[in-house]
Structure 1
Amino acid sequence: MENKHHIGVFGGTFDPVHEGHIRIAEAVLACTRLDLFLFVPAYLPPHKRVPVAPFHHRVAMLELALDEKNRTGWPGPGQVEVVISRIEAELKTPSYTIDTLKGLEGRLGPAVFHLVIGADSLVELHLWYRYGEILQRCHLLVAARPGISPAAVQDAIDRLPGGYVRHGSSNIWRSSVPGSNRTITYIDSVQVPVSSTRIRQELAAGRRPAMVAPVVLEYIEKHGLYRCQGEETGD
């Protein structure tokens, strides 16, 4: 391992945070040695609709979910610190990933960043703003998602610059660019068929979704979130 801190960066709207988000973090921490794991709620995401819940509510729900999980413990070697970064509220909008990474570099100093995304985001990564720079600045940790086949993951990787080559029969691809050590790791141990969109629909219908922590549901009910909404898409 390089003599630098290894930092996981898990961005999303978390609108609201649900068990699928927690399980992705658990799967990443179980197979990757990190010193710090950041949940980074988007302030104003460029590729999605405006979040239903305001930023401060989404952060508060994340705090409740993570406080509960921090008490029971996270998997993986060592004592990784799992925290929330509010950096996107401090940066210009919309919240482009490349700007978030550069902002984190400026605040945290020399580090090796590992960007956590879903396989559904991987297949669209070539459409992201300055995606080539993202690949130069970090490793990718890609969580499996329902409906995205391993073949689709391979096709998406083949489209990316960097000449990524699969390492034997593993789920790790390494850049073939001279001097680059960037990798893409596909984590197929987690596939949770849940989305924030479906959860919001259930909440709007007056139901209590099973994949949301009780403390988060209590917060949602207390503040009257997601009671009424139209058609939308989201994570």
Structure 2
Amino acid sequence: MHVIYGGTFDPIHHGHLRLAVELRERLGVSEVALMPCHVPPHRDVPGATSAQRLALLELAIASEPGLTLDDRELGREGASYTAETLTQLRAEIGPDKPLAMVLGTDSFAGFDRWQEWERIPELAHIVVVQRPGPGLAPDGVPAKLLSQRSVERVEALFRAPCGHILQLDPPLLDISATGIRDRILSGHSPRYLLPDPVWREIQRQRLYGA
């Protein structure tokens, strides 16, 4: 199964990396591909450029063979739309190989506002990672989609190329990229919240106000 874990990664930190390792182990796959977006359509412009965020990601996963990098969205002009990315991936891996994308519950709560969101379950499985917050509105489209497509076992994802939704509740490190950026801007050290090579490169390039 091909698994993609997308995000802004602004900057990449140990919370992202620990979740990626948890996903690899719980889903029983050899690799999880981290996919940085170019221009996120549902949040503010990143504090670092696409090239800078990519360089930080490369440093972060250099010693972890189970985590790979897919930078296809960085080569596009304009916003990064998931349906477009999944269409491209599906064409590459063929119609029969299982493909899964990872979302937090906070992102999945607004899933029906995504461009061409109806196409996404026809292209890939969705792995929803539980995150702190109010959860899904019971009468909303995401909750209905979950009730229609939910599976309880990972094995179900391997038996079909797409269409299922699996909920996972892995232990999460309470680290946020926003908190790291704020810490750096205020002159405080973010060490141990993100890999040392990433922090050294942030300092070298004076990113986020370092």
TM-score, length basis structure 1: 0.77
Question: How far apart are 1:93 and its partner, in Å?
Answer: 1.9
Partner Cα separation in structure 1 for residue 81 and residue 187 of structure 2: 34
Instruction: Kindly provide the CA deviation profile for residues 135-165 of structure 1, in whole angstroms up to 9, marking residues without a partner as x.
Output: 111111111212245xx38766433288225
CA contact (8 A) 1:28 1:141 kept: no
Amino acid at match of 2:8: T
Match of 1:48 in 2: 43
Pick one of 12, 23, 30 that aligns with 2:7. 12
Partner Cα distance (1:108, 1:220) in 2: 35
With over 3 angstroms needed to count, the CA separation of the structure-2 counterparts of 1:38 and 1:193, relative to structure 1, is: same
Report 1:151-166 matches (<5 A). 152=136, 157-160=142-145, 163-165=148-150
Residues 1:144 and 2:130 aligned together? yes
Q: Which residue in the other structure is 2:208 paired with?
A: 226
The answer to whether the 8 A contact 2:59-2:198 is kept is: yes
Shift in Å at residue 100 of structure 1? 1.1
Consecutive unaligned residues in structure 2, runs of 5 or more: none
Q: Percent identity?
A: 29
Q: Could you say what the CA RMSD is over the residues aligned between the two structures, in angstroms? A: 2.7
Contact 1:114 1:138 in 2 (8 A): yes
Residue 207 of structure 1 corresponds to which residue in structure 2?
188
Moved over 4 A (4+): 153-157
Q: Confirm or deny: 8 A CA contact 1:171 1:187 kept in the other structure.
A: no
Does 2:18 align with 1:23?
A: yes
| Alpha-carbon distance between aligned partners in 2 of 1:194 and 1:66, rounded to the nearest angstrom | 18
Please give the residue correspondences for 1:11-90 in structure 2 after superposition, counting only pairs within 5 Å. Answer: 11-70=6-65, 81-90=66-75
- 1-structure distance, mates of 2:12, 2:98: 26
> Which has a greater percent of helix?
2
Q: Distance in 2 between matches of 1:47 and 1:41?
A: 14
Q: 1:181 to 1:139 in 2, by over 3 A?
A: closer
State the aligned residue count: 204
Deviations 1:39-81 (A, max 9, x none): 11111111111111011111111111101333xxxxxxxxxx5
- Displacement after TM superposition at 1:123 (Å): 0.9
CA distance in 2 between counterparts of 1:163 and 1:141 reads 14
